Amino acid sequence: MDVRSILFACFTYGVPLAVAAAIFGTRWKEGFWGNILSVFSVFFSALIAIAWWEPLASIISTNIPKMLYLSDCLAVWLIFLVAFLIINELTRVMSRVKVKYAVPIENAGNVVALALLFLTLYGFFLFTMDLSPVGENPDATVAGDSVQIQMLRILTAGNLASFTKPTQFDEDGDFRKNHLERRKALMENVKAKNSLFYEGTVPPRRK
């Protein structure tokens, strides 16, 4: 096994294990009620970020052309963090009293809530990997993110579609393909100019 394979294995399995350990270690005292509220905060923040990252990324890349490619990842995480801070603060204000449960229910519910919190946050992380400058190898973004993409297709279909222009997310199933082409364009730029700051044009986000 070469060094790249070892690093990729550590990233694929080590990162989620480290994140899970950090979540369980730092948030256990928050209890079932506090953690289940955090699940909703992360979930809705992720939906907001996914819905609005493209306009913000376009604004960033228009004003800072060299950030053309990096703007995608920057925009989606920036919106997520701002949305999470706002939603989390609102839930904290509206729920000042911590609901108490019997100890067995509290402990079991806390485990479930923390597991859901990890899955929600890690699922969003996997989705953003497709927007990140992680190289042209399609395996550089964990295949599991197809679960998040499928969930987004369901959430943006039918009555949950946009009011002004009903469109389903990744309706043609080419989201990952388009962003793979964008990563390939970035890698060509890196090899040619030895710089992550992109200069030129990249394939569109959507076709």
Digit-coded pLDDT (tens) for 49-59 = 887 888 898 88
Q: What percent of the chain has pLDDT over 90?
A: 6
Q: Which residue has the higher pLDDT, 29 or 12?
A: 29
Distance CA 160, CA 143 (A): 26
Q: Which residue has the higher pLDDT, 141 or 187?
A: 187
Which pLDDT value is given to residue 2?
Answer: 56
Digit-coded pLDDT (tens) for 142-155 = 444 456 666 666 66
Q: 37-41, 66-70, 103-107, 111-115: which has the minimum mean pLDDT? A: 66-70
Q: Virtual CA dihedral for 5, 9, 15, 16, nearest 10 degrees? A: 150
Helix (H) or strand (E) holding 181: helix 175-193
Question: Is residue 167 classed as helix, strand or coil in its secondary structure?
Answer: coil
- The 3-class SS string of the chain reads CCHHHHHHHHHHHHHHHHHHHHHHHHHHHHHHHHHHHHHHHHHHHHHHHHHHHHHHHHHHHHHCHHHCCHHHHHHHHHHHHHHHHHHHHHHHHHCCCCCCCCHHHHHHHHHHHHHHHHHHHHHHHHHHHCCCCCCCCHHHCCCCHHHHHHHHHHHCCHHHCCCCCCCCCCCCCCHHHHHHHHHHHHHHHHHHHCCCCCCCCCCCCCC
Estimate to the nearest angstrom the gap between the alpha carbon of 99 and the chain centroid.
30
Which pLDDT value is given to residue 125?
Answer: 82
Q: Which residue has the higher pLDDT, 87 or 13?
A: 87
Residues in the chain: 207
Which pLDDT value is given to residue 172?
Answer: 65
